[in-house]
């Protein structure tokens, strides 16, 4: 079992899913009922800390920062349940896998019902009444919302509403949609926020601009049917990098000045850069690793949302020598996709141009194939499975 789990954990689609698998694989030795109880106990402790963090009169900075990540914690627990289901299925324990998958679905529904307000997930859900005075905490847009989309916590409709809310706030403020909180708490009304300057309104986790939030939002837009907005965010970030000489700090004040919470802050923040790379590779280039060592891949090239006519892309995992390479081309009333690599299973989801007419036809080399059309918001995708191995040439015409 340890050997199987090792291979299962190797080079999965997300480091957070690796973390979830590590946690739940350790819990499996207790059996599913005990594992469920332990996960629930853990989430209860997190939830109580998150919910009560700002209701206590003597809350400290650490409590406030933990409170800002409430939906993130819930999204990670959801990933833990999904990971547990995948572990059981991988080990041939179908019944336990179905039970864990059911638990994941029930957990997501209950948590989302409590936190969803119609346009976004709430920053806090107070168990006890708390007087914020004139400040409207319910309007706060918390940085965990893009992660709720990219980690599968939000439904498709919720994802689109979250992206729309960010676009609206961006128009209102004229700022990059990278906020930790929007709006931040007025520090003059909360004594614990006045202890350090970085906790003031517009700083760090109290309204600071965090590049990783923008990267996660770009990915969220690209995967939820708002591809042009995702491309716009990527272009804005590229311009930002050019203007700043390639430097990226963990956070910025609303006026664009880098913020400093610790003495070891550098202009090469991996947290921010990593999320933008995810937006580029998994969002726009569309390469999502869905199985260990890239044995299965979901390939969703979204270049039709750009003005490009030809793109080449290669993704390589050096530790396993796994790779996938493709060339995407736009022709008159046709898209062509040439794919090769080491994957045993490749599911293609090809974004169609906005003006592509219905119906569409598809061919693998010269052999007609029947694709499935998928609607994501206002966007249309053509979906089909590619044969394993070799070089595959797909054309889609309309």
pLDDT in tens, 258-284: 999 988 889 998 888 999 999 999 999
pLDDT beyond 80 at 237: yes
Q: Which residue has the tokens 């979250």?
A: 162
**Residue 200: left if φ>0, alpha if ψ -120 to 50, beta else—which one?**
beta
Q: Are 219 and 278 in contact (CB under 8 A)?
A: yes
Euclidean distance between CA atoms 321 and 343, whole angstroms? 11
Q: 227-243 and 211-223 are packed helices; what angle lies between their axes, rounded to 10 degrees? A: 150
- What's the confidence (pLDDT) of residue 236? 98
* Mean of per-residue pLDDT scores for the chain: 84
Cα 359 off chain centre by: 32
- What's the confidence (pLDDT) of residue 140? 96
DSSP H or E stretch at residue 336: strand 334-341
Euclidean distance between CA atoms 143 and 212, whole angstroms? 9
pLDDT beyond 50 at 81: yes
Q: Are 345 and 295 in contact (CB under 8 A)?
A: yes
Euclidean distance between CA atoms 238 and 338, whole angstroms? 27
Triad 318, 324, 329: Cα angle to 5°: 140
Q: What is the DSSP letter of 30?
A: G
Which whole-number Å values give the CA distances from 312 to 54, 315, 337, in the listed order?
A: 49, 10, 10
pLDDT beyond 80 at 19: no
- What's the confidence (pLDDT) of residue 114? 86
- What's the confidence (pLDDT) of residue 10? 37
- What's the confidence (pLDDT) of residue 71? 63
**Residue 286: left if φ>0, alpha if ψ -120 to 50, beta else—which one?**
left
At residue 83 the predicted structure's pLDDT band, cuts being 50, 70 and 90, is confident
Euclidean distance between CA atoms 90 and 149, whole angstroms? 26
For the residues 47-71, what does the mean pLDDT come to? Answer: 32
Structure tokens at 214: 């923008």
Alpha helices in the chain (DSSP H): 2-9, 15-27, 32-53, 61-67, 70-90, 94-115, 144-150, 156-173, 211-223, 227-243, 270-278
pLDDT beyond 80 at 219: yes
pLDDT beyond 60 at 66: no
How many separate helices (H) and strands (E) can be counted in the chain?
11, 13
Euclidean distance between CA atoms 320 and 165, whole angstroms? 41
Q: In what order do the strands lie in the sheet with 287-289?
A: 287-289, 296-299, 345-351, 379-386, 372-376
Structure tokens at 9: 């954990």
For the residues 138-149, what does the mean pLDDT come to? Answer: 94
Q: For residues 243 and 357, which has the higher predicted lDDT (pLDDT)?
A: 243
According to DSSP, the β-strands at 379-386 and 372-376 are: antiparallel
Task: With 0.85 as the threshold, say if the pTM is over it.
Answer: no
For the residues 333-342, what does the mean pLDDT come to? Answer: 97
Could you tell me the residue ranges of all domains in the chain? Answer: 1-115, 124-284, 287-397
Structure tokens at 292: 């260990």
Tally Cβ neighbours within 10 Å of residue 273.
17
pLDDT beyond 80 at 248: yes
Q: For residues 52 and 26, which has the higher predicted lDDT (pLDDT)?
A: 26
For the residues 247-253, what does the mean pLDDT come to? Answer: 96
At residue 73 the predicted structure's pLDDT band, cuts being 50, 70 and 90, is low
For the residues 206-212, what does the mean pLDDT come to? Answer: 97
pLDDT tens track for 294-310:
999 999 999 999 999 99
- What's the confidence (pLDDT) of residue 213? 97
Q: Tell whether domain 287-397 is in CATH 2.60.420.10.
A: yes
Q: Are 10 and 293 in contact (CB under 8 A)?
A: yes
At residue 70 the predicted structure's pLDDT band, cuts being 50, 70 and 90, is low
At residue 75 the predicted structure's pLDDT band, cuts being 50, 70 and 90, is confident
Euclidean distance between CA atoms 262 and 351, whole angstroms? 43
Q: Residue 380, SS3?
A: strand
Structure tokens at 326: 């493709």
């Amino acid at each position: 079992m340890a050997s199987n789990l090792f291979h299962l954990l190797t080079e999965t689609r997300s480091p957070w899913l690796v973390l979830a698998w590590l946690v739940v694989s350790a819990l499996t030795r207790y059996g599913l009922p005990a594992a469920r109880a332990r996960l629930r106990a853990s989430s209860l402790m997190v939830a109580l800390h998150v919910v009560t963090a700002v209701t206590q009169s003597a809350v400290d900075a650490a409590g406030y920062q933990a409170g800002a990540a409430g939906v993130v914690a819930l999204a990670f627990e959801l990933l833990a349940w999904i990971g547990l289901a995948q572990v059981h299925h991988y080990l041939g324990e179908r019944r336990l896998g179905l039970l864990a998958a059911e638990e994941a679905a029930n957990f997501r529904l209950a948590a989302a019902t409590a936190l969803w307000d119609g346009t976004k997930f709430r920053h806090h859900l107070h168990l006890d009444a708390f007087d914020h005075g004139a400040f409207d905490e319910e309007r706060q847009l918390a940085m965990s919302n893009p992660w709720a989309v990219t980690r599968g916590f939000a439904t498709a409709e919720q994802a689109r509403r979250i992206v729309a809310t960010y676009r609206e706030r961006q128009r209102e403020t004229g700022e990059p949609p990278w906020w930790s909180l929007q709006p931040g708490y007025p520090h003059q009304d909360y004594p614990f926020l006045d202890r350090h300057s970085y906790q003031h309104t517009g700083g760090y986790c109290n309204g600071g601009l965090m590049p990783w939030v923008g990267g996660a939002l770009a990915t969220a837009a690209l995967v939820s049917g708002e591809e042009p907005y995702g491309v716009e965010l990527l272009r804005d970030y590229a311009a930002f990098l050019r203007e700043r000489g390639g430097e990226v700090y963990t956070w910025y004040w609303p006026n664009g000045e880098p913020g400093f919470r610790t003495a070891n802050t550098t202009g090469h923040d991996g947290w921010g850069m990593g999320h933008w790379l995810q937006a580029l590779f998994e969002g726009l280039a569309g390469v999502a690793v869905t199985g260990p060592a890239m044995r299965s891949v979901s390939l969703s090239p979204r270049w039709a949302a750009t003005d490009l006519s030809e793109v080449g892309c290669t993704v390589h995992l050096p530790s396993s020598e796994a790779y996938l390479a493709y060339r995407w081309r736009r022709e008159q009333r046709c898209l062509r996709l040439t794919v090769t690599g080491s994957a045993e299973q490749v599911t293609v989801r090809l974004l169609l141009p906005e003006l592509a007419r219905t119906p569409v036809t598809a061919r693998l080399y010269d052999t007609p194939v029947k694709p499935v059309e998928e609607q994501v918001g206002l966007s249309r995708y053509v979906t089909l499975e590619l044969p394993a191995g070799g070089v595959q040439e797909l054309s889609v015409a309309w």
